[in-house]
């Protein structure tokens, strides 16, 4: 883990730690290090969806919290999907991670489910989803897993 340089760390007389770049103070030294590494002078890729609001952050969950508390948004999946950076050109589904979009386009988008649960009629587009289904819905099945090549 990278540490903040001592130049950015100033201890003020009350025992708080102060960022020398922006003046924010923290009770714990590790909080100041996190601030310097992730917030102060770093790009903030997540910005508020409301045009008149200038809020920006380095963390997606903080943007979701801001949208919920300040603008009473993000109460459904459509609002969460609006935060996505990468969009599928075929169906419009959004992802925050580019690799997730790649997986979606290669294995999921406009595909029929090809993995079937050997115990019930459940089908999925990914093997890992069927494995998760079996683990939660049919926990005794794994005693017989060698028989089914999972």
Share of the chain above pLDDT 90, in %: 4
User: What one-character DSSP code corresponds to residue 82?
Assistant: T
Return the pLDDT at 144.
63
User: pTM higher than 0.85 for the full model?
Assistant: no
Of 55, 11, 13, 48, the closest CA to residue 29 belongs to: 11
- Which two tokens mark 7? 């130049």
71 pLDDT above the threshold of 60: yes
Fold of 115-148: Double Stranded RNA Binding Domain (3.30.160)
Q: What phi and psi values does residue 49 have, to the nearest 5 degrees?
A: -80, -15
Question: How high does pLDDT run on average in the chain?
Answer: 75
């Amino acid at each position: 883990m990278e540490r903040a340089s001592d130049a950015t760390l100033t201890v003020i007389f009350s025992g708080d730690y102060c960022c020398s770049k922006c003046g924010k103070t923290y009770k714990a030294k590790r909080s100041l290090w996190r601030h310097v590494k992730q917030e102060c002078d770093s790009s903030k890729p997540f910005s508020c969806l409301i045009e008149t609001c200038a809020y920006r952050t380095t963390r997606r969950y903080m943007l979701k919290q801001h949208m919920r508390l300040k603008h009473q948004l993000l109460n459904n999946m459509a609002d969460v999907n609006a935060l996505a950076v990468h969009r599928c050109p075929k169906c419009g589904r959004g992802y925050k991670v580019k690799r997730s979009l790649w997986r979606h386009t290669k294995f999921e988008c406009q595909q029929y489910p090809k993995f079937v649960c050997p115990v019930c009629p459940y089908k999925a587009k990914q093997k890992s989803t069927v494995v998760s289904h079996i683990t939660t819905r049919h926990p005794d099945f794994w005693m017989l897993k060698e028989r089914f090549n999972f």
